[in-house]
Amino acid sequence: MKISKNGYRLQIAEESAGSRAFLVYLRWALVLIFLWFGGMKFTAYEANAISPFITHSPLMSWLNSLFGVTGASYVIGILELSTAVALIAGAFNPLFSALGAAMSAVTYIITLTFMLTTPGITEASEGGFPALGAMPGQFLLKDSVLLAASICLFLASVQRYGSSPRNHENIG
């Protein structure tokens, strides 16, 4: 336990880390993912692979209706590549960092909703929830870590963008 001004509270190991320089790894991992996945959205393979997620999503089904399977994939690809560009620019400007991290967080919030809307997420032979099928259930579950990375980068970016002099360290 660590004693604070207000009494007792639990201390976590990360609290003593001080520097946020480690966020550089989160940024560039997210950039890699958005560049790679965004670029793949311009292939027929990827367009067909994501179509079931889009079709069953109340948030995104309009994309297939409006643009078709290929067009919807292109729209998502443009958004993902734009997220990568914002994250890259964010390495030099905290406003772009916050924008890119927010775009990233929204992406993963949406993809996590697919766990509620896409058929085949749970493994029926194991009784359904909480048994996740390897595809697509376990594939989507990893987005919870990417969402956490996006939120961490966003919070650091917003804090860096603030006017406090103690927050003027590099955030990657």
> 151 Cβ partners below 8 Å, 6+ apart?
101, 105
108-150 pLDDT per residue, tens: 999 888 878 877 766 656 665 566 655 665 677 788 889 999 9
Copy the structure tokens of residue 147: 């969402």
pTM value is 0.78
> Which segment of 23-37, 66-80, 83-97, 108-122 scores lowest on mean pLDDT?
108-122
Per the model's pLDDT, the better-predicted residue between 160 and 168 turns out to be 160
Contact 149, 29 (CB under 8 A): yes
If one compares 133 and 51, the residue with the highest pLDDT of the two is 51
Work out the pLDDT band at 166, boundaries 50, 70, 90.
Answer: very low
User: What is the rounded distance in angstroms from the CA atom of residue 129 to the CA atom of residue 124?
Assistant: 8
pLDDT at 37: 94
73 within 8 A of 47, measured Cβ to Cβ: yes
Average pLDDT over residues 24-47: 93
Cα 148 to Cα 90: distance, rounded to the nearest angstrom: 18
pLDDT, position 62: 94
* pLDDT of 97 strictly over 60: yes
Q: Which residue has the higher pLDDT, 61 or 14?
A: 61
> Is-contact 77 41, C-beta < 8 A?
yes
In the predicted structure, residue 44 carries a pLDDT above the cut 80: yes
The structure tokens listed for 63 are 């994309």
Q: Which residue, 4, 82, 87, is CA-closest to 38?
A: 82
Q: Measure the N-to-C terminal CA separation of the chain; round to a whole number of Å.
A: 31
- Mean pLDDT (the chain) is 80
Band of residue 157 on the pLDDT scale cut at 50, 70, 90: confident
Sequence spans of domains, the chain: 17-167
How far CA 95 is from CA of 35, 88, 101, 116, 134, in Å, comes to: 20, 12, 10, 33, 38
DSSP annotation of 60: T
